[in-house]
Amino acid sequence: MPYATGFRPGLFAGRTYIVTGGGSGIGRCTAHELAALGAHAALVGRTPEKLERVAGEIAEDGGHASAWPCDIRDELQVRATVQGILQARGRIDGLVNNAGGQYRSELRDISTKGFEAVVRNNLTGGFIFMRETYTQWMEARGGSIVNIIADIWNGWPNFSHSAAARGGMHTLTECAACEWSAAGVRVNSVAPGAIMTSGLDTYEAKDDAYIKRVPTKVPMQRFGTEAEVSAAIVFLLSPMAAYITGSCVRVDGGAPNAREVWWPLQAHDKAPAFDGFHRAVKPGLFSE
């Protein structure tokens, strides 16, 4: 069963795209869709085994991918990884800055070390990858960058460290869109809301009840799928988005618009999901 992409076959034939965080979740799904459309997916992440597994999946499906173990927070590693991909592939057409993560905690309980670790993972690492991809290739040849942020609108209580970092990435996207436009580089972001992904398994057991009630606070009354996020990313990378830069596409079921103090949400099942990813696996929390 192939990836059920809505884009035309061969859209990215002969192109190479870097996907950070490509060993799981949204990154894994996006890499599969890009490969299904003819691209070579250069998978970046800290765990070689995860990257090799996804590269193997893509090969089984008839696509092309390679694994590039790298800690995006390490400047020298990132520089060497971009150099390696260029030597191996000869080009970088786009970057999907997807790697990141956070934990749930009240602001008062976040240590300085914990705050800085999340910011370095969700902002600094993305900046380093953007800069190296730009200076080593895109500045002279153009390209497209999509930064993955989050549903940070109106604040993100209990995730303040990540909200600060993702907000920084949102603004960084807008800055780069201006500074790099003369080089033919488009820079946009995608803001996923509550997505049914393996990332939910990284939270502690004490957060299970909190996670399970999230859809009741979303107008569309469900979690989003990895494929729904990937579709937005692929569109922004594609030629159809040629006049879009400095923008953010929300994939959040309308969550930031829900203001129950004025308009109580109604339970319903009228928002069917797009489940295009043929290898999607539910997180353990929802596997029963």
53 Cβ partners below 8 Å, 6+ apart? 23
pLDDT of residue 261: 78
What SS3 state is found at 55?
A: helix
* Residue 47 pLDDT level (bands cut at 50, 70, 90): very high
Question: Confidence band (pLDDT; 50, 70, 90) for 288?
Answer: low
Confidence of residue 284 (pLDDT cuts 50, 70, 90): confident
Predicted TM-score of the model (pTM): 0.95
In order of their start, the domains of the chain are 16-253 (3.40.50.720)
**Whether 34 contacts 11, CB under 8 Å:** no
Sorting pLDDT into bands at 50, 70 and 90, what band is 46? Answer: very high
Q: 194 to each of 105, 224, 241, 256, 262, how far by Cα in Å?
A: 17, 6, 25, 11, 22
Residue percentage of the chain with pLDDT more than 90: 87
Q: How confident is the model at residue 205 (pLDDT cuts 50, 70, 90)?
A: confident
Q: How many CA atoms within 13 Å lie on the side-chain side of 100?
A: 28
- Exposure string for 80-108, b = 16+ CB within 10 A, e = fewer: ebbeebbeebeebbbbbbbbbebbebeee
Backbone φ and ψ of 85, nearest 5°: -65, -40
| CB 216 within 8 Å of CB 257 | no
Can you state the angle between helices 75-89 and 125-133, rounded to 10 degrees? 40
68 and 132 Cβ atoms separated by less than 8 Å: no
pLDDT value at residue 279: 95
Is it the case that residue 263 has pLDDT exceeding 80?
A: yes
Tell whether the model's pLDDT for residue 1 goes beyond 80.
Answer: no
CB-based contact 145:187 (threshold 8 Å): yes
pLDDT above 80 for 287: no
Per-residue model confidence as pLDDT tens digits over 213-236: 999 999 999 999 999 999 999 999
Poorest-confidence range of 15-29, 47-61, 98-112?
A: 98-112
pLDDT of residue 174: 98
Distance, in Å, from the CA atom of 262 to the CA atom of 215, rounded to the nearest integer, reads 18
> Tokens 């988005």 appear where?
241
pLDDT digits (tens, 9 = 90+) for 127-180: 999 999 999 999 999 999 999 999 999 999 999 999 999 999 999 999 999 999
Residue 200 pLDDT more than 90?
no
pLDDT of res. 283 = 87
Q: According to the 3-state scheme, what is the secondary structure of 80-148?
A: HHHHHHHHHHCCCCEEEECCCCCCCCCHHHCCHHHHHHHHHHHHHHHHHHHHHHHHHHHHHHCEEEEEE
**DSSP reduced 3-state for 53:** helix
Instruction: Please give the pLDDT value at position 264.
Output: 87
